[in-house]
């Protein structure tokens, strides 16, 4: 890997100006290079004013700002959906912005997991994110079942997930399987799953399928229309840069948007036209907003909106294109290090169509020492005991930063050999 190549790619990068719009660290300190946008995205400089403006509005207009003033709080949900549909490839009425990810997984399972005595199994991947597993196990318990109703698909020896194995497990268990819950991108190895292929098998066998898009939204292009899954949910604080604990969202396939579906209900899902009439009968919005329970946290919504605007102003296609260039550059650079495989394997799939920005390194030895050394100069994510995840993000990372990372790993491999 050559420094000149990195600098040339930065020169040709049409998004390089955005880096200075994202805030990180104290300007007086020597900053580490941030490669952890897969965990918590950085703060855009516009957000401070946004928050202050809402404090000002609250002070000036109080309750009247819900509907009145230059910037009524009631309009923010619609503005977010207008943008987010471009990230998700679905229509606005299939999206609602609400709660956080684990809460939304539960709410989706209220509607999409209706087990019977004979058809009650749930399929997830064995290495699912802990919270997803807890959600699923507690739902099983809630319905009077136990972990014997949980089916899992183990990763391969190289840590990849074989979609054909998922499909064969679905087919083998089709009579007893009620729900398949999968990630769009697997959090540990960074693999993009072939969702259309799996979703078709679920549909052919009358099995519900839902997605956790935490590591996919804002990372790669999503086309929920063609995936044709039943539901999805995600979080906004990773690639979408909408702040720690930022507001999540749900997607409900339009074929399920009807009055017969079972869901937990609250006043904010009632049609806006009669929401404040305090009627006894629930009259749901004819959209995914029927799943919204409470009046939403306006400041979080507006931080989310502002963060999405940064993407839309820069152009989603340009961002995703740069992301692929960055992750290819990182992948190829790591792969070119002499004898790297004595220390680690790159467990993220080869080929940029099968991954997003994250590259995961599985350490065969000395993982703690490597993590300690890398962390002196870079912010990366360490999944104990063996995996380091690195995510160069197109909005605020440069090719030169990737070059510096690869050089550092090269140095550490040489000095440890
Ligand atoms: C794949 C996945 N699922 C679930 C969660 C939990 O999200 P939350 O704390 O917002 O409920 C996370 C958080 O990082 C995640 O990455």
Model confidence pLDDT, tens digit, residues 140-152: 999 999 999 999 9
Together in a domain, 197 and 340: no
CATH number assigned to the domain comprising residue 357: 3.90.1150.10
Whether residue 102 has its Cβ less than 6 Å from ligand 1? yes
The ligand 1 atom at the shortest distance from the C-alpha of residue 183 is 1
Question: Alpha helix (H) ranges present in 269-366?
Answer: 298-314, 316-335
Residue 195: which residues within 8 A CB-CB, separation 6 or more? 182, 184, 211, 227, 229
In a domain, 383, yes or no: yes
pLDDT at 37 > cutoff 80: yes
Together in a domain, 191 and 267: yes
Together in a domain, 234 and 375: no
Together in a domain, 208 and 336: no
Together in a domain, 159 and 286: yes
Whether residue 378 has its Cβ less than 6 Å from ligand 1? no
Together in a domain, 290 and 371: no
- Name the band, by pLDDT with cuts 50, 70 and 90, for residue 1: confident
- Name the band, by pLDDT with cuts 50, 70 and 90, for residue 267: very high
Residue with the two structure tokens 């946004």: 50
Together in a domain, 119 and 210: yes
Whether residue 186 has its Cβ less than 6 Å from ligand 1? no
| Residue range(s) defining the domain that contains residue 340 | 3-31+316-416
- Nearest alpha carbon to residue 196 among 214, 222, 172, 220: 222
What is the Å distance from ligand 1's center to 2 Cα? 37
In a domain, 37, yes or no: no
Q: Which of 129, 137, 192, 243 to mutate to test the pocket of ligand 1 (most atoms within 8 A of CB)?
A: 129
- Name the band, by pLDDT with cuts 50, 70 and 90, for residue 111: very high
* pLDDT over 70 percentage in the chain: 100
Whether residue 132 has its Cβ less than 6 Å from ligand 1? yes
The ligand 1 atom at the shortest distance from the C-alpha of residue 245 is 10
Question: What is the C-alpha to C-alpha distance for residues 371 and 302, in angstroms, rounded to an integer?
Answer: 36
What is the pLDDT at residue 259? 80
Residue 222: which residues within 8 A CB-CB, separation 6 or more? 87, 88, 89, 184, 213, 216
- Name the band, by pLDDT with cuts 50, 70 and 90, for residue 417: confident
**Last residue of one domain, picked from the residues 254, 283, 311:** 311
**Last residue of one domain, picked from the residues 311, 332, 350:** 311
In a domain, 44, yes or no: no
Whether residue 101 has its Cβ less than 6 Å from ligand 1? yes
In a domain, 38, yes or no: no
In a domain, 174, yes or no: yes
Together in a domain, 19 and 102: no
Together in a domain, 361 and 380: yes
Task: Please state the domain count of the chain.
Answer: 2
In a domain, 45, yes or no: no
In a domain, 381, yes or no: yes
Together in a domain, 65 and 158: yes
In a domain, 46, yes or no: no
CATH number assigned to the domain comprising residue 158: 3.40.640.10
Together in a domain, 301 and 367: no
**Last residue of one domain, picked from the residues 291, 311, 331:** 311
- Name the band, by pLDDT with cuts 50, 70 and 90, for residue 398: very high
Whether residue 100 has its Cβ less than 6 Å from ligand 1? yes
Whether residue 330 has its Cβ less than 6 Å from ligand 1? no
Q: How many other C-beta atoms can be found within 10 angstroms of the C-beta atom of residue 242?
A: 28
Ligand 1: residue whose CA is nearest its atom 16: 214
Q: Tell me the average pLDDT of the chain.
A: 96
What is the Å distance from ligand 1's center to 214 Cα? 7
Together in a domain, 251 and 265: yes
């Amino acid at each position: 890997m050559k420094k000149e190549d990195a600098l040339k790619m930065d020169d040709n990068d049409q998004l390089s100006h955005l880096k200075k719009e994202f805030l990180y660290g104290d300007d007086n300190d020597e900053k580490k290079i941030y490669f952890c946008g897969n965990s918590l995205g950085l703060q855009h400089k516009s957000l401070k004013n946004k928050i202050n403006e809402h404090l000002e509005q609250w002070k000036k207009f109080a309750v009247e700002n819900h509907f009145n003033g230059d910037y009524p709080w009631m309009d923010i949900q619609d503005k977010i959906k207008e943008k987010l549909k471009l990230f998700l490839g679905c229509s606005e009425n299939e999206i609602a912005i609400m709660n956080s990810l684990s809460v939304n997984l539960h709410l989706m399972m209220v509607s999409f997991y209706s087990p019977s005595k004979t058809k009650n199994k749930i399929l997830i991947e064995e290495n699912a994110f802990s919270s997803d597993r807890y959600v699923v196990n507690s739902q099983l318990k809630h319905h009077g079942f136990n972990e014997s109703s949980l089916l899992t698909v183990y990763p391969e020896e190289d840590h990849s997930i074989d979609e054909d194995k998922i499909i064969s497990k679905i087919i083998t268990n089709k009579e007893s399987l009620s729900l398949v819950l999968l990630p769009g991108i697997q959090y540990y190895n960074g693999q993009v799953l072939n969702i259309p292929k799996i979703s078709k098998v679920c549909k052919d066998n009358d099995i519900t399928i839902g997605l956790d898009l935490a590591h996919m939204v804002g990372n790669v292009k999503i086309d929920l229309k063609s995936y044709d899954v039943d539901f999805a949910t995600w979080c906004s604080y990773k690639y979408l840069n909408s702040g720690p604990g930022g507001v999540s969202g749900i997607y409900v396939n339009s074929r399920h948007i009807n009055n017969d579906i079972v869901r937990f209900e609250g006043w904010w899902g009632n049609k806006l036209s009669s929401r404040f009439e305090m009627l006894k009968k629930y009259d749901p919005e004819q959209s995914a907003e029927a799943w919204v329970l409470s009046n939403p946290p306006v400041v979080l919504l507006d931080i989310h909106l502002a963060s999405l605007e940064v993407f839309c102003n820069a152009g989603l296609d340009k961002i995703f294109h740069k992301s692929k260039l960055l992750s290819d550059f990182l992948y190829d650079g790591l792969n070119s290090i002499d004898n790297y495989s004595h220390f680690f394997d790159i467990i993220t799939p080869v080929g940029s169509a099968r991954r997003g920005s994250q590259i995961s390194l599985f350490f065969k030895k000395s993982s703690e020492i490597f993590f300690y050394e890398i962390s002196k100069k870079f912010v990366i994510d360490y999944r104990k005991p063996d995996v380091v995840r690195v995510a160069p993000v197109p909005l605020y990372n440069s090719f030169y930063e990737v070059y510096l990372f690869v050089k550092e790993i090269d140095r550490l491999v040489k000095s440890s050999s």
